[in-house]
Amino acid sequence: MQTTRFALFGAGFWARYQLAGWLELPGVSCSAICDRIKSKADELARRFGVPATYDDPERLLDEAPADFVDICTPVETHADLVLLAARRKLPVVCQKPMARSWTEAERMVEACRAAGVPLLVNENWRWQTPIRALKRVLEEGAIGNVFRARISMVSGFPVFVNQPFLRELDHFILMDMGSHLLDTARFLFGEAVSLYCQTRRVHTDIRGEDVATVILRTQNGATVFIEMGYAENYLERECFPQTLIFVEATKGSAELAPDYWLRVTTASGTHARRVPPPHYAWVDPVYEVVQSSIVPCQANLLAALRGEAPAETTGEDNLRTMRLVFAAYESASADQVIRL
């Protein structure tokens, strides 16, 4: 098998897991790592045996062989790095959230389209083992047509300890977690036609919102209630970072419950089974369900880069998710329903 080589931009908290995920796939190697703090790139390269490090993206692309670039940097850098790769005619995998604004996201997609190169988004949340299992239940049709659902990722986990930069974001939970959960809502229940959102800032020492509630109305007429929170308050049962989902449909219901239990209830009764994530030695046990989903997500992206299968999370597709994120901010600011 011919090796597919990539250059990694970014050496922060998530880069180590994203890099480990790529290296789980056959025929993949990382040729270089770039970070504006070169010592961070050096440390990550030593850990994974990557041969070259840089603090200048242009120089990396001049010197290091790469079949695509993987951008795992702060969101404010995404557009410049995507446009740089597009100018070099290099396919791009970009971390979520894709961009800081709708205009910026459109510009990134258009630049890659004009250059004739793929823009893919490393949106792994929908690839979590429990969420894929729930998707199969919905597709099988035993519970009928969905008319209401609730998606919940509410946690007292001290997320700012591992990711202190989140404190400084003007827009926090809707960009960080909302991009995941709104994409998951689209994946499970289809496109939205309207949206209403409310936000709160519970922490007094952060810049953005740490609590948000979103209500979607889908093209199929379902109401989807999405709640997210990093208020760091006390919860009787801490499920971080599991996504809990309850689905009501015309012939039954389905639930993703704590500890990866999937319960499906129809006229024949309730059938329950656990759908835990696979284990990889490199994951942080606290984040296992999230970090393990990096592997199937990147396997899908790699297949697309190799021309073997379509990617689920293209730049064009992720524009629809980003539209929901920015509409949520618009709704919260105006306290009104946004028609999509």
269: Cα within 13 Å, side-chain hemisphere: 2
Q: Is the peptide bond before 97 cis (omega within 30 degrees of 0)?
A: yes
Whether 235 and 156 have beta carbons less than 8 Å apart is answered as yes
Q: Which pLDDT belongs to residue 231?
A: 93
Whether 196 and 337 have beta carbons less than 8 Å apart is answered as yes
Whether 222 and 189 have beta carbons less than 8 Å apart is answered as yes
Q: Concatenated DSSP letters for 227-258? A: EEE------SS--TTPPEEEEEETTEEEEEEG
User: Cα(90)–Cα(45) distance, rounded to whole angstroms?
Assistant: 22
Whether 127 and 291 have beta carbons less than 8 Å apart is answered as no
- Whether this model's pTM surpasses 0.95: yes
User: Cα(301)–Cα(246) distance, rounded to whole angstroms?
Assistant: 29
Residue 276 is given by DSSP the state P
CATH number for the domain whose boundaries are 4-122: 3.40.50.720
Q: Which pLDDT belongs to residue 234?
A: 81
Q: Concatenated DSSP letters for 118-163? A: -EEEE--GGGSHHHHHHHHHHHHTTT-SEEEEEEEEE----HHHH-
CATH topology of domain 127-286+315-339: Dihydrodipicolinate Reductase; domain 2 (3.30.360)
Nearest in space to 205 (alpha carbons), one of 245, 135, 158, 262: 158
Domain(s) labelled CATH 3.40.50.720 in the chain stretch across 4-122
pLDDT in tens, 159-180: 999 889 899 999 999 999 999 9
Q: Which pLDDT belongs to residue 162?
A: 86
Q: Which pLDDT belongs to residue 50?
A: 98
CA 188 to centroid of chain Cα atoms:
14
- List, in order, residues 6 or more apart from 258 with CB less than 8 Å away: 237, 239, 242, 244
Domain(s) labelled CATH 3.30.360.10 in the chain stretch across 127-286+315-339
Per-residue pLDDT of the chain (340 residues; tens, 9 = 90+): 689 999 999 999 999 999 999 999 999 999 999 999 999 999 999 999 999 999 999 999 999 999 999 999 999 999 999 999 999 999 999 999 999 999 999 999 999 999 999 999 999 999 999 999 999 999 999 999 999 999 999 999 999 998 898 999 999 999 999 999 999 999 999 999 999 999 999 999 999 999 999 999 999 999 999 999 999 888 888 899 999 999 999 999 999 999 999 999 999 999 999 999 999 999 999 999 999 999 999 999 999 999 999 999 999 999 999 999 999 999 999 999 999 9
Sheet-wide strand order for 119-122:
53-54, 28-34, 4-9, 68-71, 92-95, 119-122
